[in-house]
Each structure stands twice: as C-alpha cells, then as structure tokens.
Amino acid sequence: MFYQRDDDGYWDLQENIHIFGHPTLEHLTVRKAKLDERGFDSLEKPSGTGLKELHFIDCDINDDALSDILLHPEDLREFTMTHQEDPLPPLEESPADAGDYIFALNSAQHSLETISIDSATLGGRKALRLRDFIALKTLQLRDFQLFGKTSKKPRLHSVGLPPELETMKFFGQIGEDEEVAELLLNIIENKEIMARKWKKFIIAKGVESVPEKILEACKVAGLEVVGC
C-alpha cells in the first residue's frame, strides 16, 4: 500500500485501518504511511486474521497502534520495519526506543520467525528480552538496540536471545559502544548456553568492520560470519 503525496509526506494509514481486519490477507507491505496512537478506535475490531507477513517501509508508526493491530493475526511469521538514515519528514509518531516496538510484537511471540528493524533513529534503553519469542529464527537490528546503550545507570537486565535463533544480522557499525561490544563478545563465548542454535552472523558493514576479538570468538564458537 502506497499513496503518493505532493509534498512527499506520510499518508494517513488510519483512513485505511480496515486493511488489518481482512480475514484472509497474508502478505502486506505499507510504504510512507503514518499511524497515530488510536489504532482500532472503533468498536468493530476484527477477530482472527490470516496475516503472515507485515512490512513497514519508511513509515511513521506509533507503537501503541502497532500493538493494537497485531492482536488480531493468528499466525504472524515475519515483521519488517525500515527507515532511512535521516527520515524525511522527521518521525513524529514513532517511539525513540527499539524495545517499544519489540513490546508491541509480544502478541505474536508464539509465531514470529523473523524480526527485522532497520532504523538508525531508534535507540535502546535496556537490553532486549526475547526468550519468549519461541519461534524466532532470524533477528536483524543494531547492536546497541539489542543490548541497550551504555549509560550511568547499572544494567539490571541482560539480553535474552530467542531459544530457536539461527541467524542474527547487525545493521550499522559494530563495537562503537565498548560496553555493548563486551556484551556481544560474552554472548558469543557462551553461545552454547545462551543461543545454542545460532549458526550465522551477518554484518551489514562487512566483516572487515568487526573488531578482531569478536571475529576470533566467532571462529572458536563455530559461528559463520558473513558480510553484505
């Protein structure tokens, strides 16, 4: 779904919110749309829907609204959200933290097999806890979004990786945050405990951008490191 505006702004997805109630639609890609916190603000909410893949490309989506629309797919398997490095127009509805989007996906944690969030504007306050995403095999995001950025406050939660995780991809530069790099190194070194099915590590910036100690740990752990 895409509507071209004269000013190249975001079109209002609220006017087409009914698409998420379609009973048999399985694959949906939405481009350059915005959605505020209302979500389904009518009394006629859908029951179970057949949506399996949902992709938001260059959209401005409120996390509360996302949580609302994702209550209804019975078997959502793939979720993608991407933004330009410098979104234009600037994002207004989207949260500032990747964890808010992960929380919005909780209703699909039994079925999601792929989560891909490619957005440089999203931060990370805390390490993500993904252990309850029991079907998740592919996770794509940035390292500081997974582990949380370094702050003055002590870390109260460690990252919890999905039990079935097989492939992880990091967008952006790896290891710019020294504490995040150490946490990544710790997970790789303890892969057999924390993510024993993890086989492939994809680096968007290329293998040459990865700190040598992380590459060495991947080799020892038997992780295939691939640049793209």
**How many other C-beta atoms lie within 10 A of the C-beta of residue 199?**
15
Q: Distance between CA 150 and CA 159 in Å, rounded?
A: 14
* Mean pLDDT (the chain, rounded): 91
CA dihedral of residues 160, 166, 169, 174 (deg, nearest 10): 60
The identity of residue 117, as a single letter, is: I
Residue 89 CA to chain centroid, in angstroms? 21
SS3 59: coil
pLDDT digits (tens, 9 = 90+) for 13-32: 998 998 998 999 999 999 99
- The pLDDT tens digits of the residues spanning 100-129 come to 999 999 999 999 999 999 999 998 888 898
Residue-by-residue DSSP string for 126-189: S--B-TT-TT--EEEE-HHHHH----SSPP----B--TT--EEEE-S-SSSSHHHHHHHHHHHH
Q: What is the CA radius of gyration of the chain?
A: 18
Q: With pLDDT > 70 as the criterion, what percentage of the chain qualifies?
A: 94
In DSSP terms, 28 is beta-bridged to 54
pLDDT of residue 40: 74
pLDDT at 43: 46
pLDDT band for position 45 (cuts 50, 70, 90): low
Domains of the chain, each with CATH number or no CATH:
11-227 (3.80.10)
Cis peptide before 95 (omega within 30 of 0): no
Contacts 24+ apart (CB under 8 A), 127-130: 127/155, 127/157, 127/158, 127/159, 127/160, 127/183, 128/98, 128/99, 128/102, 128/159, 128/160, 129/157, 129/159, 129/160, 130/102, 130/159, 130/160, 130/161, 130/162
> Residue 165's pLDDT band (boundaries 50, 70, 90)?
very high
Distance, CA of 54 to CA of 58 (rounded, Å):
13
pTM: 0.93
